[in-house]
Each structure stands twice: as structure tokens, then as C-alpha cells.
Amino acid sequence: MIREDKFLISRKPYAVDLNSLRGSRTDTPQGRNDYTYDGTINAVWFRRRRGVTVACIGHLWDLQHPEPADARQFLEQHTDGRYGGDTHGRWDGDSYWGNVTLAEQQRHLAILQPMLANYPAVPDGYDGWWRFGPS
């Protein structure tokens, strides 16, 4: 992924919580020092749905080798954006979509409502904007 300061919704950027990287190593049967790092990082993003700007919350995931030293390296090594982010919740200014508990929905809305109101600012606690694609 590539970090940019300028927001362009057409580039489908993500803002990430750099403190949320989590993952684990799994050895593969190919031999010594061969493993896969399965990592996820929390993210938020804006998209357009049927002509309406929406705020989304979820995570980005990737399988990597070598294991990243930190969240920035994880993002820099994450080059396959075919699947985008896994959306857990979405706010369009009128309604919320998500299959989560009510408590989780309230946590999401505490981020998504001010995020959409302050479009296209990066929400507090997040680093942005990160995008897939050539530089």
C-alpha cells in the first residue's frame, strides 16, 4: 500500500489504526524458516453507494512473508487490493448497516457519525490515507 496525504475517493483510500495490527505466524510444510504471517489491521474508509457518500469501518487483512516489523511495514508489504477491506459497519447519514451486537454498533457509530460529518478528514486515532495500486 502507498500512503498519501491527499484524499481522492476515486483511489479508494483507507485510514488505519496503526496500533491495531495483530497476527500470527503459521509454519508451512516446505521446511525451515518457511511460514506465513496472517495479519489484520483496523481501518475506516469512505465510499460512494448509489450516489451517496458512506463511512465504513472494518479491517484490512493480508498473508505475508516475511513477518512485518510493525504496522507501517505491514501496509507497505500489502500489495494485493483485490478484496479491499472487510466491512463490519457502514453509516450513510440516515441509517446503519452491520451484523454486530448493539454495543459494537454504538462503538462504530461513535467513529462513523463524526467521520461522515467531517468528510474527508482522517478520524482521530487513525493514520491516512493508504491506498492500493501503483505509485
Give pLDDT tens digits for 50-94: 999 999 999 999 999 999 999 999 999 999 998 889 999 999 999
Encoded amino acid at 55, one letter: A
Encoded amino acid at 76, one letter: E
Other C-beta atoms lying within 10 Å of the C-beta of residue 33: 8
Cell representation of residue 46? 469512505
66: three-class secondary structure by DSSP: coil
With a cut of 70, say whether residue 120 has pLDDT above it.
yes
Tell whether pTM > 0.85: yes
Cell representation of residue 120? 474527508
Other C-beta atoms lying within 10 Å of the C-beta of residue 87: 16
